Amino acid sequence: MIAAIFLIVVPLLAGFSFLFIDKYLAKFRKLFILGTGLITLLLSIELLIQVIKHPLVYNLGNWKEGIGISLIIDPLGGILAVLIAFISFIIILYSLSYIKNHQLKYYTLLFLLITGMLGMVLTGDLFNLYVFFEITSIISYVLVAFNKNDTSFEASFKYMIIGSISGILILLAIILIYQSTGTLNLAQLVITARVIPIQLKKVITVLILIGFGAKFAVVPLHTWLPDAHSTAPSPISALLSGVVIKVFLYALLRVLFILFKVDELLALDFNNLFLYSGVITLFTGHLLAYRQDKLKRLLAYSSIAQIGYILIGIGLFNERGLEGAIYHVINHAVVKGVLFMTAGIFILKTKKKNIGDLKGVGYQLPLSSFIFTVSALNIVGLPPFNSFISKWLLLHAALKAGFIIPASSILLGSLISLSYYLRIIILLYSKVKEELTSIKISYQLQLAPLLLSLFYLPLALFPNFLLLLIKKAPLFLLKTINYYNILLGGKEWIGLFG
């Protein structure tokens, strides 16, 4: 139970005490950074083990339930907390050898970003969610501008205009919810949301769809993402693409399922909204990625496309679809993390940002290129890899529910992505006229992508173990009465079909 609050406190405290460590105990700087990342990871794993057995509530300040702010952690929150802590740990490992200047600012902001994300998945209070939402957003704006050149400032400003308007819309939605129900606790809202008139409910839904949708780049609102993710420093791109957008997606799902029951959502045709916006997002992402000539921009557009896959899984509003979507969230976070980190190594070592200039880099940077190739084939969804499993689950769920167009677009989208990733792989290993010698590269820089890519193996070989964890998530997301029962300390959960 203690792990829940320490998961937020540890990175927050580390972020600000890093100012002190950097000034007076500079020797222990690396140890401190790595230690904080490791402690956060261990705490999140401990929390997940507890939560899988029994979801828990932690009341801040020991107030009674519903008066103060409480943290409510269900299996989905636990899984996402582990994912955030794990990817962040790898990113910290990578940053130690990648970021050479302004380390003080960088690590302070990075720890605060981790705090914001963990807070968003652990909190059980609507307004607290908004506060962590804004913390995550503001830190993201600053980190996008971290390179301090004209394009990064431009990307950051673009992100900030769209982001702050979306924040205002979320705040308006929260005010409307509070005004009509008189509560901000997410679990209590499960019961009290019934009193909201249907017209007002629709207004609130539109506000949160636009507000959170702009943050996870659903297609008409995606324009900031390729700029922001491609101009940020590579470790930050990996974190933004890998986990930050997924956390905003989680927030949308949590609030949406609390406001509406699943039958109400189906009656209002929300499944078609999600499914077809997923299809549009998928094709826009893939087709725009196809015509990019900068490597990181291509990866950013590919992230938009992967959000499309996840939206299709969610839009089915059943157990299978959600399982596939959550599995794809995990796979994409891991694979896109590796892709951005290796792309960062290419850019750092060869100073080439365009795809056309990557000719022959496969001979200069053999290990990084190999990792990149494996990851690219992975994210396309070729059979032996883990992304294949999650895409298969999504496809299976979509076909089972009878949605032919989304199911076929999953296949067609993967085909498009194969074509543009194959172009890069061919360029990497094509011969050039002049003699190429391998560039010297420190093992530390390659350690993080290598470590993360080793996780493809357990993800691909033992999907059943992970699916066992994931199978517990829809119970609390779709049947929100179970989420309410966590608050009451209940032990019995109502089944999905009960």
The two tokens of residue 135 are 């913390």
Q: Using CB under 8 A as the criterion, what x/- string covers residues 70-109 for binding other proteins?
A: ----------------------------------------
Residue 265, interface with other proteins (CB under 8 A)? Answer: no
Query: What are phi and psi for residue 185, nearest 5 degrees?
Result: -70, 125
CA 11 → CA 16, 114, 116, 391, distances in Å?
9, 7, 9, 34
Choice from 34, 57, 60, 131 touching other proteins (CB under 8 A): 131
Choice from 85, 109, 160, 225 touching other proteins (CB under 8 A): 160
Least Cβ distance, residue 198 to other proteins (angstroms): 21
Least Cβ distance, residue 179 to other proteins (angstroms): 6
Choice from 10, 21, 145, 209 touching other proteins (CB under 8 A): 145
- DSSP 8-state code for residue 53: H
Amino acid at 341: M
Choice from 32, 178, 276, 370 touching other proteins (CB under 8 A): 178
Least Cβ distance, residue 175 to other proteins (angstroms): 6
Q: Which residues contact 371 (CB under 8 A, 6 or more apart)?
A: 338, 342, 446, 449, 450, 453
Residue 240, interface with other proteins (CB under 8 A)? Answer: no
Is residue 59 classed as helix, strand or coil in its secondary structure?
Answer: strand
Residue 227, interface with other proteins (CB under 8 A)? Answer: yes
Identity of the residue, 12 or 389, whose beta carbon is nearer to other proteins in the bound complex: 12
Residue 71: beta bridge partners? 58, 123
Identity of the residue, 184 or 208, whose beta carbon is nearer to other proteins in the bound complex: 184
Residue 280, interface with other proteins (CB under 8 A)? Answer: no
CA 488 → CA 188, 194, 207, 493, 496, distances in Å?
10, 19, 30, 12, 19
Q: Where are the beta strands (DSSP E) in 154-289?
A: none
Q: Cβ(327)–Cβ(390) under 8 Å?
A: yes
- State how far the Cα of 174 lies from the Cα of 381, in Å rounded to an integer: 39
Q: Cβ(365)–Cβ(437) under 8 Å?
A: no
Rounded to 5°, angle at Cα 480 from 479 and 485: 110
Identity of the residue, 103 or 164, whose beta carbon is nearer to other proteins in the bound complex: 164
Residue 219, interface with other proteins (CB under 8 A)? Answer: no
Least Cβ distance, residue 423 to other proteins (angstroms): 16
- State how far the Cα of 416 lies from the Cα of 289, in Å rounded to an integer: 9
Least Cβ distance, residue 147 to other proteins (angstroms): 12
Residue 187, interface with other proteins (CB under 8 A)? Answer: no
Residue 172, interface with other proteins (CB under 8 A)? Answer: yes
Q: Which residues bind other proteins (CB under 8 A)?
A: 127, 131, 134, 138, 141-142, 145, 148-151, 153-158, 160-161, 164-165, 167-168, 171-172, 174-175, 178-179, 184, 226-227, 231, 288, 291-292, 297
